[in-house]
Structure 1
Amino acid sequence: MPIFATIRFKMLCVVVMLAVLLGLAVFLVGKGTYRNYKTLQISQCRSLVAEETAKVEDTIQDLQANARELAMIGELLFQAAPDRLTLYGPYAVLRNFQINTAAVGGGIWYKPYLLDKKRELACFYAYSQSGGAVFDESFSSPEYHYPTQSWYLDVTRQLDALGPGARETAVWSRPYVDATGTHALMTTVSSGMYDQQGAFLGLATVDWQLGDIARQIADIRPTPNSIILFADTAHDVILNLSDPSRSQGFTNVSPRSIPWFESNAPSERILVHNGASYLSFFKKLSNGMSVVVNVPEEDLFRTINRALRLTLLILAGIILLAAGLTWALLNRFINRPVAVLSRAAAEVGAGNLNAEFPLRSKDELGVLARSFSTMTRSLKSHIEHLGTVTAEKERIATELHIARDIQASMLPSIFPPCPERDECDLRAFMLPAKEVGGDFFDFFFVDDTRLAIVIADVSDKGVPAALFMVIAKTLLRNNAPAGANPGEVLAATNVQLCENNSTGMFVTAFIGILDVRTGAFEYANAGHNPFFVKRPGKPFERIAPKPGLPLAVMDDTLFQTEMLNIERGSSLFFYTDGVTDATNPENVFFGEDRLRDTLTGLGNLLPGDLQGFITGVKNNLDRFAHGARQNDDITMLALAYIGPQRTQVQELTETAPAPAGKDAAAGNATTLVRERHFPAQVAAIPEFMKLVEENLAASPFTQRQRMRFAVAAEEVFANIANYAYAGRSDHGLVEARLELRRDPAALTLQLADSGQPFNPLECGAPDVSLPAEKRTPGGLGIFLAGQGTNAMTYARREGKNVLTMLLEPEQEPS
């Protein structure tokens, strides 16, 4: 057996999986700790950068406030004591260094020629020196000429650009190296001086030495390899760059020359520089300067990364050790006992039911071994019993197969059922849901012209339904004597089925009797399905008989007989509920709507191909079921009504000597007689008139006589069809006899019917002044018929009305 299919391997997989899950849990906890440690480290860096930059920002705010205060002093001195400026000016400047120790220099610079029209320059400047502040008069000398200095021009341009808001604002100059004062890297914050009318008086400046600040910022180093940038982004110049890979100090170049620099970068972003990942902290100061601290992630998280790797290695080792130990234990306590059980089970599988299972341990495998021993003994006993049961089932199956054949032989199976009869055709199909079923169909002639059809469904399936079906079928056939209507047949059968019906079974049934001469279809229903009629040139019509109880439910149930006229070329389709209740794998019923659609799609096969029609319905049902189990018996019956096709025609020939000098072959037939039966229906008039017109065409009469006789014959036939059988459920027949005599020429038409006695010759001439509904029935038609014949006689013979019409050639005028 492959090792991957063993229980040991599967259990090992379970143990390893549990170990992996445990390791995963530890890993997730460690990952959470790792994430918290990183968050803490980042928070510490953030706090360090924020703390140091806050100190610088405080200094900036103090210098800006100091510059504004110094400007206010300059304004007051100019307004209050312009003649004593040379006395108070140096004092005010020196006093400023006592207030703000961060400043390394500063002064008041008046606009040229403001104090004295003859004196261009007037300023007071002092700078810090070890031990105190020193007033320096050289800045007011023409050699320095401060109005043309870059810092003076830069600041005044900034103030001019601010407009009216410049009075309350301090502006910063571009960083520079002071060559005359402190000779250090400096920047100057300036505030404008204005009189009460807002006129510009000059500047008050405070110098800030950037060297110490730059070194202080450079010491913000969370890790040894951190990169610190101090730049004046407002003037696009680097003040200090502390990068282990580059020289440090004031480079006097644009920070944009640094690949990783972004002037508006968000704080705490991740950037990659020289293949290393950095966590970048960005702070922008209020005077336009910026501080960027880039901390290498590898340095920042080195300790936690090392701890995480060590943890993972330890977990992997534990998992491997657990897997190895589990493998050995499983092999000792699981695989070896299983192998013993497997060998014993193989013997049982080979047919040795006496095999022993030697495992005696008290664990689950021992219990399993004892269960196998019990199972072997039970299996041995069961096989012996199974042989007996199998033989019995085979015997029952054989008997059911014979019963199925017997049931099939009881149903009509020869189609067409009556080859010698051409008035109708019939096909049927029955498929039981089990070996035998409860559905059945039957058809038989109750007399020479009336065909009975039966379709029924017993309220169960299998053998009980089949036995009840035999009884019901026999009783229905026996209770259908000549002359009985379908309702009477069902009533008689119902009484007999209710006797001794201890099983409580019942049967839905439909019986119809078709008069193949006239197409009259009488039927009665006992709780069965509706049926469909397909008339020539029309769609299928659903016929729902009046509801009735099934047979064998109540012995006093009455069943109503209904009537339907079937035209020639019509077809009828009957079925049991096994058709509409058929289901597909989704338990959707086939239903009556799908059945109607199926019949419509196959309607072109009717009435000629009934077998193809039945087969088409069954195939469509199978496609819908798509292999789903058949739950009920399926029965279908299709009937096509064609009508009488053989016309009863008799030709009588009388021979007579041919006139002298004539060819004896000139014709010796003197009388032609034709007889035919028609249904007493208005719809039969075209067939009747065809027969009359054929005889008239062979007669020697004039066209006028032919037309009048044809009208007379049609009127008489129409009167018989409308009135002779009024009040009766059947239409009856009209027996027509035409006799054409050659010599002497004469045409006799005799019409006989079995309707109510009526002598049309007793009707007087119609009163055409009366409305049509008040005239005597048939009066006008009989009157017109009399005008188209030479003579008309009536007789009542053998229960029939016999009317004879005579037509003779017109007499030539003398």
Structure 2
Amino acid sequence: MGGVNTATGDETETKSVFRRYRSIMALTYLLSLVIAVGLSGWLYVINLDSRLDRIAIDVREHKVTLDRIVESSVNFVSGMRLFSENWLRHTSGRLAGDAPLYRALRASEANGFLTLDQLPPGISRDEVGNLTAPWPLVRNEDAFQQEVGMALALNPMFRIIKNAIPNAAWVYYTSESKFINIFPYVESKDFRFTEDLYTHGFYKQGLPKNNPERRQFWSEAYMDEAGKGLMVSLAAPIYREDDFLGTVALDLTLSELNKYISELNYGLGEGFIVNDLSQLLAHPSGDGERVGEVLTGDQGLPFELRGRYEEILAADYTGGYQLFDGYYVFLASMDKAPWRLGYVVPKGVVNAEILWLILPEGVYLLLSLTAMLLVANYLTRKDFIDPSQALVRFIDRRSSGGRVALPQVPDGWRPWIEKVDSAFDSHGQIIALRQELETAHTIQHSALTTDFPDTGQVMMHGMMRAAKTVGGDFYDVIPLGGDRYGIVMADVSGKGIPAALFMMVSRTILRTIAVSGDHPSACLALVNDQLATNNEGSMFVTLFYGVYDASSGQLIYANGGHNPPVVLRADGGTEALPGTGGMALGIMEGLPFAEKTWDLEVGGGLFLYTDGVTEAVDPTLAEYGFDRLLDLLKGRTDRSPTELCTLVVEDIDRFAGTEPQADDITCLALSRKA
């Protein structure tokens, strides 16, 4: 019994194993936390990019909408200019002088100021604007009369424009001849022509020296002299041939633009509109309207961004936005006006929104990972760690001499405890057990096929070398009648007697079902159901089963979680046989199995094996590997199946060197001869 007492000497190493287990579980939990944080970070980046892209799209959509509003103004001003210049080309001053409005205008001369405060009968103030001009003035009477007639003829267009653009404050014509016709109608006591009007952009930017191309233009923002607050004008110069006469214009109040920009908030930041003169045209705060002066674009930015206005405007926004000092800035240039639509949102606000969005997912993920690890740890300790510790303590106590009570362990462990207890009772029982194992080894090997087909069409050979006295691997060649053979390669979970017993049961059931002639997929399904029934040991077997027709070279096969066989092509090449996606047999009843077909080439073959081949290790614990097996078998179609099996086993031994065999090594080779 002295040999058994080595358990006491290994006690320290055993405790170290369990300490490592606890360390592994702690590291696994830490890794889970890192994964949860990493996934949360990934979700944060994805959601942040999506949110910023959505804001950028909304800003561009608002820009398009504002462009459409502005475009209607551009079109109407172009229409007024076209109408005015055509009218001047085709209508004389005398004809204009006969018009009722012109006669009413001349009737006011006695007051020293021409006005339409008194309209002719039948004409209401809703239909026309009020034309005002100082009197008397030295003018070319005919030219003046024609120009006034043109200005009065614009009244119907004024009315149409005002109806089409309700938020237009004023529509008007300002003449170099010192008069203005303005719509909607306003009495001269409230507003009349003064030469101060010439200082505003709506007139000054239209002068020939400032606008030689005669283009349409937007003015700077300014305070309206008619009392409607801050506004900006869209205007166009009017010419009689090459003579500048004045400008037609349309005014938009900044308060209307503020109403529009207030819709651009999304609950996060603030929108704004600036022009090419760095004036702030619109801002949700409406500060400019409140203080009665035009603010600069810089004043529309958050305090932290003040002084960086030019830098912000010069940045590249092709990506949708830029980040400045903790603020995301979105900027889009308008097509129909020299304006830019912007949106500024604090980075912290966006981050808070995203974090609140992903927080439930992150918490759920962390709790789920924690619960999974706790359950896994509980089950592992209950079914493996605690019984293992009990077994080690039991061996240690028995090694000290005398009998001790059997520990309380799960039913699956009790046979092992009892077997160890019996081994300690008598050295003779150990010898008997060894003899039983030798007998089991003999029985197991005698059950393996030794009568391999060797015909003019096919040749086969297989071999198995168990890692222990008995193993869980097996192969089989089942004659199915005619030139058809059932080809089997299997690997039972575990090692030793349980694996060997499960192997014998699996082989017997498969042989019984295979001779029925069912397809491989159906055979595996039936075998699986039989093995899964009353499988208290929770054992399973990975199994490849194929039906090979030697006359045609066709292989119909199904794979229950086993390693893919190697196809040996006639040209010496090798490749993995495509899988069918099946699970190992014996895990649970009712599993489906798929099957596929492969035609072996004449002069080619098939090499089947278990994971004891590819997972063999050398002294550095490097694995033999599937790629090494493929390379070894390349160009070996001239070898017989027996030679192929021997070649592989010998190469594994050379590779492993002094490293002992850890798993059963099993292989089966097939060569198609004709």
Q: Per the shorter chain, which TM-score range?
A: 0.3 to 0.5
Q: Name which structure has the greater RCO, CA cutoff 8 Å, separation 6+.
A: 2
Normalising by structure 1, report the TM-score: 0.36
Q: Which has the larger radius of gyration?
A: 1
Normalising by structure 2, report the TM-score: 0.43
